[in-house]
Amino acid sequence: MSGAHLEPLVKSASALPRAPKNWRTSVISAIFVGFVIALVWSWLYIDMTLSTVFGGFSDIWNLILYMFPPIFDNFPEALRTTLETIWMALIGTTLAVLLSIPLAFMAARNTSPHPAVIAVARGIIALTRAIPTLVLAAIFASSVGIGPFPGILALGLHSIGMIAKLFTEAIENTEATSRDAVMSTGAGKWQSILTTIIPQITPSSVGTSLYRLDINLRESAVLGFVGAGGVGFLIQSELRGLDYQRAISAVTVIFVAITLIELVSARLRASIIGDHLFSPSKQTPRSMARVASDQQKISTALAGRQLTLPWTYERVLRASVGVSYLVMMVVAFATIDMPLLSAFSLVDDLAKGIAQLFPPDFETAGSELLKGMLETTAIGFIATALGLVIAIPLGILTARNIIIRRVVITVTRGILLLIRGLPELILAVIFVAAMGLGPVPGTLALTIGTATFMAKLIGDALEEVQQAPREGVSATGASRVQEFISAVLPQALPNLVSQTLYMLDVNLRSSTVLGIVGGGGIGFLLISAIRGYETQTVGAIILVIFAIVYAIELLGAFVRWMVE
């Protein structure tokens, strides 16, 4: 067929009506372009270059070599302050859980008494989540005095934002049929909640509380930087005296404690939510043997019509941890330097301290406030992007259904666990000591923390992909790389987008406090205003931090809705 005969066909094909463009795709593309533009601007704004990045790591390595071997003659004080850090995290998390339970029932649409109550409860949850723990600790320490008490208050208040939010989602996701059946028998509203909703949300709620305890352990380790108790004060004192070998000894003690508690907590979470039962990729021959033994005991009990469940391995584990928790709480209240009965007398001082933040003064800080806000935003964007670049290959190496060699998975997970045991602010202190003051060392420290955390999330997301699409692609003769790109990555992409936005949200909160140790951002201006008793300037800075974090949170929620 000649070109003359083809020309009418080409014209008619081009004249056919095109399918309407998906507006969601357009919006997501625009947001992605905006993220790239913000990333480029951030890189230029804080003068990041490849030479400063890689040259900085050589300086950091030299400092680390200088820190070793650690000198442990301060071990008794390091152990005492580390235990104080653990008690602070334990009490703060427990306080947050107790306050989050009623708040979550008021915020959930299927249990709240009125839409106005929902709006107020969700506003409180968002507000507590937006203000970083270290900022709250600095404010409380200036109001009620230094010590662990302001740190406990800060941990408890900030943790409500996460715990109550996840509790609310768990309540709203409960199955409604059983509740309707109970109410049809004449039971009241709260009777139906106690008998149907609470049993459904208990496993996920306990898992959420344990996960928050892990986070609070890291955050409580640095609250001493603002006088709020814990091992952070000892670490800061040693670093200010340039006694790096003793500083690293204190860091080692808290690092070991955090790592051990994280391992126990992760195992308990897996037991409670049934992850050890329903994730074949996470099972080992020993765990499979335990599951088989437990199932045999349960079957024997049912066959014998026993009224009580047998003491299986998992039940013994949970009971042991529960008893240990109660013992630790008693020891915590008995040993920590914290007012109990007199704590209520400090409420007036706390209320007066918060009232002094208003009306906020935006004029005194002036251009410094704007500069700190822009620097904080830039640090958050760069740390998220660089952390994602590092986390993707590490996350792939931790996925048991992707990597064949178990030794690679074990080594990678071990390295991530070790690095994750160091709180980000302590990393920032080390980076600043090696590279000097400024936003670049703060960004690099936040990048390391982001990479280790996101690698774990990415590995978990990859392990949760469905196997059927992978088998279908493999049946066509595709290679493992082709199978990963065409069958695994598309399934994990929505989670990856959601996790990236979540980390951007977290990093914007974290970057607001890096300036406290000289890592750039608005934190330096904040701590200077607190130490100078410029309370109304502090109020202005807190409002700016809240605006930044809340705007990103709304954007993240919008994008997640678009992706879904």
Same domain, 328 and 443: no
Q: Is the residue at 153 inside a domain? A: yes
Q: Is the residue at 194 inside a domain? A: yes
The neighbour count for residue 192, using CB atoms within 10 Å, is 19
Distance CA 73, CA 460 (A): 41
**Number of independent structural domains in the chain:** 2
Same domain, 262 and 409: no
Query: Band of the pLDDT at 272, cuts 50, 70, 90?
Result: low
- The rounded Cα 356 to chain-centroid distance in angstroms is 31
Query: Band of the pLDDT at 304, cuts 50, 70, 90?
Result: low
Same domain, 62 and 76: no
Same domain, 410 and 520: yes
Same domain, 142 and 269: yes
- pLDDT tens for each residue of 377-399: 899 899 999 999 999 999 888 88
pLDDT of the residue at 9:
40
Q: Is the residue at 548 inside a domain? A: yes
pLDDT at residue 184 is higher than 70: yes
- pLDDT tens for each residue of 421-439: 777 777 888 888 778 888 8
Report DSSP state, residue 72.
-
pLDDT at residue 5 is higher than 60: no
* CA-wise closest residue to 157 among 140, 172, 143: 140
Same domain, 490 and 526: yes
pLDDT at residue 450 is higher than 50: yes
The predicted model gives 251-269 an average pLDDT of 80
pLDDT of the residue at 227:
78
The radius of gyration computed from the CA coordinates of the chain, to the nearest angstrom, equals 26
In the predicted model, what is the mean pLDDT of the chain?
A: 78
pLDDT of the residue at 17:
47
- pLDDT tens for each residue of 79-132: 888 888 889 999 999 999 999 999 998 988 888 888 888 888 888 888 887 778
Per the CB < 8 A criterion, the answer to whether 126 and 553 are in contact is: yes
Residue 536, both tokens: 């109304």
Distance CA 154, CA 128 (A): 10
Same domain, 274 and 369: no
Helix (H) or strand (E) holding 252: helix 244-273
Q: Is the residue at 319 inside a domain? A: no
Q: C-alpha angle 524/528/529, rounded to 5°?
A: 120
Q: Is the residue at 12 inside a domain? A: no
Query: Band of the pLDDT at 37, cuts 50, 70, 90?
Result: very high
CATH of the domain at 147: 1.10.3720.10
- pLDDT tens for each residue of 516-564: 778 888 888 887 887 777 888 888 888 887 777 777 767 766 776 666 6
Query: Which has more confidence, 311 or 234?
Result: 234
Which segment, 12-16, 21-25, 99-103, 276-280, is predicted with the most confidence on average? 99-103
Same domain, 504 and 535: yes
The predicted model gives 285-306 an average pLDDT of 56
Same domain, 212 and 243: yes
Cα distances from 10 to residues 5, 15, 16, 297, 387, in angstroms, run 9, 9, 10, 73, 48
Residue 93: domain span: 70-177+187-283+324-337
Q: Mapping DSSP to helix (H, G, I), strand (E, B) and coil, where does residue 230 land?
A: coil
Last residue of a domain, one of 272, 305, 337: 337
pLDDT of the residue at 456:
82
Which of 91-100, 172-181, 244-253, 288-297 is the least confident region?
288-297
Q: Is the residue at 147 inside a domain? A: yes
- pLDDT tens for each residue of 309-356: 666 766 777 777 788 888 988 888 888 877 665 566 666 777 777 788
Same domain, 405 and 490: yes
pLDDT of the residue at 41:
92
Q: How many CA atoms lie within 13 A of 314 on its CB side?
A: 23
Sequence-distant contacts of 52-57: CB under 8 A, at least 24 apart: 52/440, 53/440, 53/444, 56/431, 56/434, 56/435, 56/440, 56/441, 56/444, 57/444
Q: Is the residue at 348 inside a domain? A: no
Same domain, 99 and 55: no
pLDDT at residue 293 is higher than 80: no
pLDDT of the residue at 22:
66
Per the CB < 8 A criterion, the answer to whether 164 and 104 are in contact is: yes
Distance CA 457, CA 435 (A): 30
Residue 265, both tokens: 């907590």
The neighbour count for residue 320, using CB atoms within 10 Å, is 11
Which residue type sits at 292? Answer: A
Q: Is the residue at 356 inside a domain? A: no
The neighbour count for residue 513, using CB atoms within 10 Å, is 31
pLDDT at residue 446 is higher than 80: yes
372's CB contacts (< 8 A; 6+ apart) are 365, 515, 521, 522, 523, 524, 525, 526, 541
Same domain, 64 and 75: no
